[in-house]
Structure 1
């Protein structure tokens, strides 16, 4: 079943250039990181280095646009970086990118190669429609603190992705919740590729993610939705 995705007017007011591509997949076979998924990450790191040409990730125009959006809803981008900038910094560091599992590796590789935030949600655990909104501060966010399950609440005005049960990702794409994250048991997923103006071709990034998923999970059923621009809803 196709998930309904909406973006609130309050979010569009602070980020009129926001656009996203949704990739839905079923019949996936996940598992521990392997040689194939690791090679995707290594290739992505090389592509990122070539793209930046010695610049820091935050100097890229797209990352600068994300920083402006984070500042607009009261977040400090040097402390809570968007997911693409955070991954890019790790890709360029000595330790390199983390290996999580095959599906997470695949979407992290797209995020780094194209320098766009990408998130993956296990659709089996999503309740109702997905919404990008500015939080009231009352919403619940399930996470882990000190190795134990914990429930947090976003700041009032913070931009969050949520469903009918609570927040699935805080500060737009900064931290994903435990409930809907992709695990080695995940067989269906929604991937969101997000961008601010200026940026290149999101369609290319979405198509490349679909190719990665097809190689890692032959036989999976994958749908790449057309880009949704500011002001439009699905």
Structure 2
């Protein structure tokens, strides 16, 4: 099993930086509240100075979505959606300690983070352009097919685990009460993304280690080293 971005994704988005965490030993009976509070406080401080739409991290994803033929105000990166919700509601709902932690880190860095239950992924997982035949399962259990040439996370069986790149994950491989092993993917396109993603991975790995007493494997990917073996 491995994770990678297809070569044409690197060619079309040369500013992409991606950070990976592979974590085993996850369980729901844990509290990440102290870490979550710190990351959320950092996000709120930044939002107090300017709206999320002014963040360079968010603007870079908006440009990418426009390039993919998507309206940035209709389809938003996951980090932008989280920041909008935090700004409007003041907090995020609790789902699972790992998801809550990753959401808080995403808020603090304004960088989208995807988390996949590896028991629900078949073979390799690749960020690539869709053929249109792939199967995507919504959180409500409905089946969709990505648009042709849409950027998706797809496994060896042709199941799409995320649509519109960083817009929406699938309910099929979402973290749940039985999840024990996950792959975490953070991606950014703004100037200085490599430095920020590297710091994100380091801080998230430290929080995961503290909360679950496990040691994640991590890596930074680029066009010359695009693959992470799981």
Q: 1:186 is matched with which residue?
A: 179
Residues 43 and 109 in structure 2, CA contact (< 8 A), matched pair in contact too: yes
TM-score, normalised by the number of residues in structure 2:
0.90
Q: 2:25 is matched with which residue?
A: 27
1:93 Cα deviation after fit: 1.7
> What's the CA shift string for 1:149-187, capped at 9, x where partnerless?
211011111111111131001111211112211112111
1:217 Cα deviation after fit: 1.1
Mapped partners of 1:203, 1:133: distance in 2:
22
Q: 1:67 is matched with which residue?
A: 62
C-alpha RMSD over aligned residues: 1.7
> What's the CA shift string for 1:56-112, capped at 9, x where partnerless?
112111111111111111111111100011111112223521211111011111111
Q: 2:148 is matched with which residue?
A: 156
Mapped partners of 2:38, 2:216: distance in 1:
23
Residues 115 and 182 in structure 2, CA contact (< 8 A), matched pair in contact too: yes
TM-score, normalised by the number of residues in structure 1:
0.89
Q: 1:167 is matched with which residue?
A: 160
> Partner of 1:183: helix, strand, or coil?
coil
Any unmatched runs of 5+ in structure 1?
none
Q: 1:233 is matched with which residue?
A: 226
Q: 1:43 is matched with which residue?
A: 38
1:43 Cα deviation after fit: 2.5
Mapped partners of 2:122, 2:54: distance in 1:
37
> What's the CA shift string for 1:102-161, capped at 9, x where partnerless?
11011111111111111111111110111111111111001134xxx2110111111111
1:18 Cα deviation after fit: 0.7
Residues 17 and 229 in structure 1, CA contact (< 8 A), matched pair in contact too: no
Any unmatched runs of 5+ in structure 2?
none
> Partner of 1:194: helix, strand, or coil?
strand
Mapped partners of 2:67, 2:8: distance in 1:
11
Mapped partners of 1:195, 1:16: distance in 2:
11
The change in CA–CA distance for 1:193 and 1:102 in structure 2 (over 3 A counts) is same
Residues 116 and 193 in structure 1, CA contact (< 8 A), matched pair in contact too: yes
Summarize the alignment of residues 1-234 of structure 1 with structure 2, pairs less than 5 Å apart: 3-31=1-29, 36-145=31-140, 149-165=141-157, 166-198=159-191, 199=193, 200-218=195-213, 220-225=214-219, 227-230=220-223, 232-234=225-227
Q: Which runs of 4+ in 1 moved over 6 A?
A: none
Residues 141 and 152 in structure 1, CA contact (< 8 A), matched pair in contact too: yes
